[in-house]
Amino acid sequence: MSIKYIFDMDLTLYSTKDFIDDTDDEKFYNSLKQKNKLRELLLANPSKKYLLTNASFEHAYNVLEKLNLNNIFEEMVNGYNLQVYKPTPYIYHEAQYEFEIDDKDKVYYFEDLKENLKISKELYNWITVLIDPENDDSKEEYIDYTFKTIEDAMTYFTVYIMATKCEICENKEIKYLPYPIENEIYINITCFFCKEKISVCSLCKKYYYGKDMDDIYLIIPDKYKEISHSLSTDPPQCRKCMTINSRTKYKMCDMCTEYKNIDQFILCNNCFQDSCNECNKNNSCSVCELPLNMYDDTIYKF
């Protein structure tokens, strides 16, 4: 069994708030807003995704490009080219065939029109998802889910159905997604909440919670307690490094561009520039390249 997602396009992948209604095609397409959050949610969901629309291929490609939703959908069935439109049964038979759906597959169908959902339920018992900006609680028996926006729908299906617990806050009651942390350092499973709250210490390169002490609401597992709770600092650093930093100042080496303890820097008496010990190899200044001598001093401590 596999899970497949089928989407209508117009007024499902975007709403009336995302474009200017104009009879001029160029003005209409150029007014469409990018759906970057939706793109992130769709890409995070591992299931295959398809389009079932009454529009033409040309219109669909133009809309997807403007919405920044291109290269996401596996295939498309469109009524305009078939000259058969939803809710005519034939277009659903065509989708069932083209998308290679078998009886064991679980199919979620996202639509803004109830009549199109009804026929899909009657023919193939697809799981129906209504996108209705005015209502999120439909009473019709053939509608399984209702959301006000497609983003709300995909947040639910991707975050609450597809994923497991967060490895950072270890909350088992809320479902999570794999998310990258800043600086291209990854934690395997990270919730939306922790994604916004976690930083990487520039000094010890470990993770820490919070910015401006807004981390007091987070549950911190034992393995992260020593590096939790950080004030806004420059460079960004955890509480442990910040405590050390209050006694021994850190600075960035101009040569290797890494933050290091100031005790690791040497001041050259020839050019009066300083750099770290690692950059000053072979007793030569890394800036002027002249030999360091006995009068060159370790930079004073703060």
**Whole-angstrom Cα distance, residue 200 to residue 169?**
16
pLDDT of residue 132: 95
Mean pLDDT along residues 236-246 = 61
158 contacts 177 by C-beta, under 8 angstroms: yes
- pLDDT beyond 90 at 74: yes
Token pair in block for residue 51: 């389009």
Amino acid, res. 140: E
- 63 lies in a domain? yes
What pLDDT band is residue 59 in, cutting at 50, 70 and 90? very high
pLDDT of residue 217: 35
Most confident of 118-122, 179-183, 225-229: 118-122
**Whole-angstrom Cα distance, residue 298 to residue 301?**
9
The model's pTM: 0.57
Residues 152 and 220 in one domain: no
The overall average pLDDT reported for the chain is 76
Sign of dihedral through CA atoms 295, 299, 301, 302?
A: positive
**Whole-angstrom Cα distance, residue 158 to residue 168?**
19
Look at 15-19, 75-79, 136-140, 250-254 and tell me which has the smallest mean pLDDT. 250-254
pLDDT of residue 175: 44
What pLDDT band is residue 247 in, cutting at 50, 70 and 90? low
Residues 220 and 102 in one domain: no
Residues 56 and 186 in one domain: no
Residues 144 and 51 in one domain: yes
- Residue indicated by tokens 């020593």: 226
Residues 157 and 19 in one domain: yes
Residues 239 and 262 in one domain: no
Q: Structural domain tally of the chain?
A: 3
Look at 127-131, 186-190, 215-219, 267-271 and tell me which has the smallest mean pLDDT. 215-219
Mean pLDDT along residues 70-93 = 96
Domain that holds residue 285: 252-298
